[in-house]
Structure formats: structure tokens, C-alpha cells
Amino acid sequence: MIQISTSVGCSVNCSYCPQSSHVSAYNKVVERKGPYKMSFDTFKTCIDKVPYKWPVCFAGFSEPFLNPQTIDMMEYCRAHKRKISIYKTLAGIKSIEELDRIMATFPARMIVHLPDVEGYMKNPPKGKIFFDILEKLKEYQRKKYRIKIMCIGTPVPAFVEGFKYVDSPPITSRDNQIGEVNGHDFLETVYKDVPNEIMRKNDFKVPVRCLKSTQIYETHILPNGDVYACCNDWKLELKICNLITDSWEDHTAGRRRIINQQMTVSGTKCHTCDFARKAYLPKSKEQKRKEAEEAEEKKNKE
């Protein structure tokens, strides 16, 4: 999956999302010169290099519709028969007409993140248009569009009433040692009473696999064309390539390099990530032979 970060910097400002770290890291990359919103030309240049088998997800590190050209990008994907998905809070959608344009691209999956009772989403979309869009989304859901409603925290009853498939995963963010949220939203380990408690990081001493993606099959394009390997790489440490200047072959080689480095070498970003799990690598013939001999020896002793 290719995720598109159409903007850098998100006004929704969820408490568990490390936007300050991300913006600071991006500022260093672009030397504070931008771009902070992806242009349609940049999107077209990058996406035309991506094989059609890769789905395109408008989500990334920021709310997609804060960029006014995002709908144009979606329509371009639709015109070229690309599979689209969306993760959004509805921020940036200014009218029912814009929502209709979005739905006309027939997203294969749409996850709508709504505000919570606790106020973890600090600057949610508001106003009459927000409620009008919610009502229109209910119509689309009744028409069998694949719309999933979720809320990190306790859903606001007035917002979710009338929707099907409402999910509310617990707050599970973990802080690093300087008290900065890592942004790991959906983890197996649950810390409901956080979200800002400092937790100790584990470091697996063995090869690891990614709980989200076995082959880091989820890279992210930023507004300047840079591609990064993971949705948890908020500090932009795992750069693969730049799809404006580089080829898809460069992307493939970069992914392979990062997988080999991150999954096998202890102490890397992936080894200390909440999504890391022990990798069960295929056994060599020598290992199988040795295990068989040990089993036979044990059997004879018994």
C-alpha cells in the first residue's frame, strides 16, 4: 500500500499523535522551505511510477482533506482505475458537494475517525456542515458503501447514532524516555489510563517481523516526494527514496535495504517498536537435521 500524506502538519491535533516531532523532522528535511502541501503535479509524478497492484491510501501522517487538491488526486486515481482507500476525520471537507465527489471515486475502504468524549481529538471539525456530512455519510453507508466509523476514546453518542460498524479501540499510545508520544494507536498491549504515561521500550534481540506488515508493505509519500518506510516513522528516519527524482526500482531496492537492516539488526527502530514481534524464520537443513538427531537421542534414552 502507498499512503499519501497530502499535508505536513495537522490542525486536528489529537493528543496521542506526535505532530510536533513530525513537523520538526520535516522542517529539517526541507530546510523550512516546504512544500507543506502536496501539489497535484507532484502527486501525479509520483503515483504514475507506482505499480497498479499497489492500493493508494489517502491518510499518512496528516488529515488528507486539509489539502484542497486531495479530491483531484482521488479523481485522478479513479480515472486510472486505481484502488483507493481513505482514513479521515472529515476535517477540511467544506460541503456536501465535496463529499459527493469523494464518494464518486468509490473508495474500497473508508475509515472515518470521529471526535471522542474525553477530548483526545483537540480540534475536531465543527459546525452545521459537519453534522450535514455525517447525515450524508449515513445515507452512503445504507447504500452499502464500505464506511467504517471509529473513535479513539469514548464515542460521542450524537455523532455515532445511526451508523453501523462503530469501533472504539482503546487509547494505547506509549511515550519515549523524554515524554513524547510515539503515536502507536492500535496495539495489542492496552494502556487505557495513559495516554501520556512513560513506558519502557523493549528491544528484541532476535530477528523481528512487523505486526502490521510482513514486508513493510506500506510506504508513505510526503509532499516533497520523499518516501518513508513506515507509518510509525514520525521522525523520518527510514527514508527509501524520492519518487520525483528516483524510479520505482530505486523504491524497491530501498525497501529491501531497510527490511534487511531493520528486521535483523538489534537496536534499530523496528526492534524497539510496539508492532515488533519475534520472527519465526524458516529452519535450515542443518537445524532440522540436528533437531531430528536430538529427538531421536531423547527417545532412545526414554
Q: Which three cell numbers stand for residue 264?
A: 535483523
Query: Looking at residue 131, what is its pLDDT?
Result: 95
Peptide bond into 18 cis (omega under 30): no
Query: Looking at residue 68, what is its pLDDT?
Result: 96
Query: Looking at residue 193, what is its pLDDT?
Result: 35
Query: Looking at residue 205, what is its pLDDT?
Result: 66
pTM of the model: 0.79
How far apart are alpha carbons 113 and 135 in whole angstroms? 15
How far apart are alpha carbons 92 and 113 in whole angstroms? 13
Domains along the sequence of the chain with CATH? 2-301 (3.20.20.70)
* HSE value, Cβ hemisphere, 13 Å, CA-based, for 1: 20
Amino acid at the residue 159: F
Peptide bond into 125 cis (omega under 30): no
Query: Looking at residue 216, what is its pLDDT?
Result: 55
Average pLDDT, 10 consecutive residues per value, the chain (302 residues): 93 83 93 95 97 91 95 97 94 96 94 90 92 96 92 89 81 37 35 35 64 67 94 86 96 87 74 68 74 85 76
Q: Which three cell numbers stand for residue 114?
A: 470521529
Query: Looking at residue 40, what is its pLDDT?
Result: 98
How far apart are alpha carbons 196 and 99 in whole angstroms? 35
Query: Looking at residue 235, what is its pLDDT?
Result: 86
Query: Looking at residue 175, what is its pLDDT?
Result: 33
Contact in structure between 7 and 62 (CB atoms under 8 Å): yes
